[in-house]
Structure 1
């Protein structure tokens, strides 16, 4: 065995030993981190259980007791509740007063109550997303490092968008509810402000990865900042901006439902009341309508995103 072969074998053995030590150390730190996390979770749950008057762990076996009232005696009442059709079980109580919710358009033609509430929820999501898009687009170009030379201006815009998305929509809605009262307007303002911050961050990260050659070409012929953004930068990123905006619509439909449960109007408020009162048929009708609506919104936005961005963007790279 030559000297060079011996040196090479020693080096290989040293690298293998170093790799094993490094792997063992990583495994130790991983196990330690997981163990500390489990200890923290158990301690937190124990504290919450002690602080909860109902004692979470004692009540855990009864978690699914609500199914006893959620299952209606007559499954046809679910469809009757959904389309505001009179129920033969109606005894004058609110549980089966389905026709009272009809929203009459003209004559005998009406929109079922839950469909009208679902339209309100979707409208809240659409308007708030539109507000977020309108403001997030210019903010994103200002916040992009490669497009705005002023570090102070970039810093101010970035911190402002961080502030908007730092607070949950429910907190913002609670603030504006004290000003404009509860209802869809407070929900639109809250979701719209949060959408500005969320979309702005996604947008400026896209803008920082654009091809700068069109920008440099317009700069060379004397175009100002607005002209460069309009004709060199925006056409490159617009399909991706629209794709993220459509994704945000899906998110905002779900958020507007939650906002309705805390006084933001729409289907969420009615769902909260149905659950709290134990109205099984109404609850199932609302859940069914909500599921179908979110499914349709998701499918439509996914189809539209593919048309805007292209099928190749959704394929895994080889």
Structure 2
């Protein structure tokens, strides 16, 4: 038997192409069947939900945009009047156009518009919650990192603890503490802070587990303690990412504090809920505009601060 006879017979290019077409056709068939099953399940669940809904979703579908039409103000100038608490000529004594009655006077005739004060409260709730979450998430994340904490029981306990904190939505935690502490910003701060600790802790320890360990090895070789290794070897590497995630979390917390405010957490959320439920178009649009501007400002500040932390060169393309 020759050497050539002992080698497996190579397939021709035509056979390889045919085999590839069969594999692709089989995968496409499986994908199509999977999508069909998902579609059938989706249609069945929607029909079940529609039959269980007292209002029957599909029967009310043609009226989907009726709600938006209620919020269109008759006078668009009322949006700016509502935002800055300027008296409206449309005010007939009701609550829809009583813009100037919400002024918060500081000194003499100087006042802060009502919605600006509510937005400040909402932002303060988000800011305090983010700071608290950051302070507690940093040490917990180092204890949960595999490359810095050799103790398995400690790492597992810390990870499970952070998972427990972020397992419940903020609004659920806020409802619990509102029943204990009464409604207000304090319950909102506690709820958002607890969830923030769990969320930031997970992001932080994943960053820590990807750091360059050569500096840590150098610190250990000279007899540095665990705290010294964390402070001088790991923390300088991860701090820019920590700040980036914390600023991102601040944006999320502004939205979360708005939602919690709608259920008694104080701030702009409660006023937004009332305006929407009563169909006050000018007030609702003013609140949405102020909320959008605030989120945009926080995002721009986050981008500026991150550039200051990591340096402008990090955002330049390198050839």
TM bin (shorter chain): over 0.9
Residues 1:151 and 2:165 aligned together: no
Of 111-120 and 61-70, more deviation after overlay is shown by: 61-70
User: How far apart are residue 257 of structure 1 and its match?
Assistant: 1.0
The 8 Å contact of residues 246 and 301 in structure 1, kept in 2 or not, is answered as yes
1:246 & 1:189 partners in 2: Cα distance?
19
Correspondence for 2:205: 204
Give the RMSD, CA atoms, in angstroms: 2.0
Task: Please list every run of 5 or more consecutive structure 1 residues that lacks an aligned counterpart in the other structure.
Answer: none
Match of 2:175 in 1: 174
Name the SS for the 2:195 alignment partner.
helix
- Aligned residue runs from structure 1 range 19-38, under 5 A: 19-38=20-39
Summarize the alignment of residues 71-110 of structure 1 with structure 2, pairs less than 5 Å apart: 71-110=72-111
SS state at 2:173 partner: helix
Q: Which residue of 1 aligns with 2:288?
A: 287
Counting matched residue pairs gives 315
Aligned-residue offset at 1:144: 0.6
Alignment CA distance shift 1:312-1:44 (3 Å) = farther
Name the structure 2 match of 1:62.
63
1:135-284 paired onto structure 2 within 5 Å: 135-284=136-285
User: Is the alpha carbon distance of 1:47 and 1:112 closer, same or farther for their aligned partners in structure 2, counting shifts above 3 Å?
Assistant: same
Write out aligned runs for 1:118-129 (5 A): 118-129=119-130
TM-score by length of 2: 0.93
Q: How does 1:6-21 map to 2 (within 5 A)?
A: 9-10=10-11, 12-21=13-22
Q: TM-score, normalised by structure 1?
A: 0.93
Please tell me whether the aligned partners of residues 243 and 309 of structure 1 are also in contact (alpha carbons under 8 angstroms). Answer: no
Residues in 2 aligned to 1:39 and 1:311: alpha-carbon distance in whole angstroms? 52
Distance 1:283 1:49 in 2: 30
Residue 255 of structure 1 and its aligned partner are, at CA, apart by 1.2
CA distance in 2, matches of 1:9, 1:131: 66
CA distance in 1, matches of 2:47, 2:224: 64
For residues 174 and 46 of structure 1, what CA distance do their matches in structure 2 show? Answer: 32
Change (3 A) 1:15 1:75: same
What secondary structure sits across from 1:93 in the alignment?
coil
Which 5+ residue runs of structure 2 have no aligned equivalent? none
Secondary structure of residue in 1 paired with 2:162: helix
Q: Specify the alignment match of 1:308 in structure 2.
A: 309
The Cα of 1:291 is off from its aligned counterpart by 1.2
Query: In the TM superposition, what is the alpha-carbon distance from 1:248 to its structure 2 partner?
Result: 0.8
Q: Distance in 2 between matches of 1:263 and 1:314?
A: 42
- Per-residue deviation at 1:261? 1.1
